[in-house]
Structure 1
Amino acid sequence: MATVDDCRKALHDLAARLQANAEARGKLDLDRTLACRVTDLGTAFHGRIAGGLLLDITDGDDPKAKIALVTTSDDLLKLVAGELDVTRALASRQIAIKANPFDLLKLRKLL
């Protein structure tokens, strides 16, 4: 099982990777709050997706977040590292993403 610090670092790594790739993929018209709930650690993080970037990552849950990712710590690390395919993980219920369908389509471009 990964630690809270490992999960925090993974989210910051994801934010850095998205920023590095922002110019190549073009601007993404998505501005939503995001919560990442790590079930096995009983913790959460929240931030904001704006223009294809992951911004303002902080500890704690945001119950009003428009997009919520629910997963275990190990699956979060695998997902960020590219070792876990998002579509397969959703289909096998390793992860859950709660968002409206239009936001899910836009999120696919990020992941």
Structure 2
Amino acid sequence: MATVQDCRQALDDLAKRLAANAEDARKRINLERTLACRISDLGVAFHGRLADGQLLDVVDGDDPQAKIALTTTSDDLVALVRGELDFARALGARRVSISASPFDLIKLRKLI
């Protein structure tokens, strides 16, 4: 099982990757939304925001009002960010769940 620090690092790595490709990401998904990432096996959460194709201001703690909420296990989060787990397959296998408006789900699909 991955640790809280491993999950935090995975989200930091994802934020850096999106920042490095912000222009391309912005073309594919230009959303301004709050985001919560809930780690079910550790009982922790992180939250931040998607803006201008980037993941910004990621901090510890849940945001119950987040417009987009992703729930997964610690190992699956780390594997997703490393590219070791296909997001669409993980979603289909219910290893990842996303709560968002239908419009946001369509936009997010462009990142997969």
TM-score, normalization: structure 2? 0.93
In the alignment, which residue of structure 1 is the partner of 2:72? 71
Change (3 A) 1:100 1:78: same
Change (3 A) 1:41 1:18: same
Once the two structures are overlaid, the 10-residue window that deviates more, 88-97 or 19-28, is: 19-28
Q: Which residue identity does 2:77 align to in structure 1? A: L
Secondary structure, counterpart of 1:110 in structure 2: coil
Task: Give the distance between the partners of 1:51 and 1:72, measured in 2 at CA.
Answer: 27
Percent sequence identity over aligned pairs: 68
The question of whether the paired residues in 1 share the 8 Å contact of 2:70 and 2:97 is answered with yes
Shift in Å at residue 25 of structure 1?
Answer: 4.2
- The one-character-per-residue Cα deviations of 1:82-102 (angstroms, maximum 9, x if unpaired) are 111111111110010111111
5 Å-filtered alignment, 1:1-111, equals: 1-27=1-27, 28-111=29-112
Q: Which residue identity does 2:16 align to in structure 1? A: A
Structure 1 residue ranges without an equivalent (≥5): none
TM-score, normalization: structure 1? 0.94
Task: Give the distance between the partners of 1:61 and 1:73, measured in 2 at CA.
Answer: 15
Secondary structure, counterpart of 1:68 in structure 2: strand
Shift in Å at residue 24 of structure 1?
Answer: 3.3
Q: Which residue identity does 2:53 align to in structure 1? A: G
The question of whether the paired residues in 1 share the 8 Å contact of 2:37 and 2:71 is answered with yes
Shift in Å at residue 29 of structure 1?
Answer: 2.1
Change (3 A) 1:90 1:60: same
Q: Which runs of 4+ in 1 moved over 6 A?
A: none
The question of whether the paired residues in 2 share the 8 Å contact of 1:30 and 1:51 is answered with yes
